[in-house]
A = this chain, B = another copy of it.
Amino acid sequence: MVANTSETAEGAKSPAAEAWRMIFDLGTVHRAHVLAAAAEHDLSPPQLFLLRRLEPGVPTPMSELAAFFGCDASNITGLVDRLEARGVLERRVPAHDRRVKHIVLTEAGERLRAQALAQLHVPPAALTRLSPSDQRTLRDILRRALGA
C-alpha cells in the first residue's frame, strides 16, 4: 500500500462506492455538455434543471420544487420569476388553498423543454462506445437501482 488517501484506495472500496465515484466522473467530465445544452437555449443550468423537473401538464407546487432540489424556497421564487417573465411557465393559485402556487409550463415552455432535453439527454461517447450488450446491461441495472 502506497500513500493513498482513503478515497483513492481502490482495493478497500465496495463495488457500489467505486461505481458511484465513476458516475461522478462521468458527470464532471460532461459538465461542458450540460453547459452547452443550457447556453444554446439561453438557459442557466439551474433553469434547465427546473424545466427538466416540470413535466408537461403537471402543475407543481413551488414547495415541492424546493424540496426536490434541496434548496431554499426563495431560490425557487427567483428562478420562477425569470422563467415566467420569459413566458416559459406561469403561476396558478389552486382554489382549495390560496397560499400555494402551482407552476405549469406554457406551450412555449413545453417546446423549449423538449428541445433542451433532447440535447441534454444525448449520451456521451463514453456510453455509446460500449458494446450493445453492455449498454443494455447498464440500462437494466440502473432501472433496478431507480426502482423503475
Contact = CB atoms under 8 A, between A and B. Distances in A.
A23 interface: yes
B19 A135 contact: yes
A19 B18 CA distance: 18
Interface residues of A, number: 59
A68 B14 CA distance: 28
Contacts of A146: 22, 25-26, 126
A124 interface: yes
A98 interface: no
A59 interface: no
A1 to B, nearest CB: 15
B27 A139 contact: no
A19 B127 contact: yes
A94 to B, nearest CB: 24
Contact of A19 (B15, B22, B24, B139): B139
A44 to B, nearest CB: 13
12 contacts: A5-B56, A6-B117, A14-B135, A17-B121, A18-B139, A19-B123, A22-B146, A24-B121, A31-B70, A32-B70, A134-B145, A138-B142
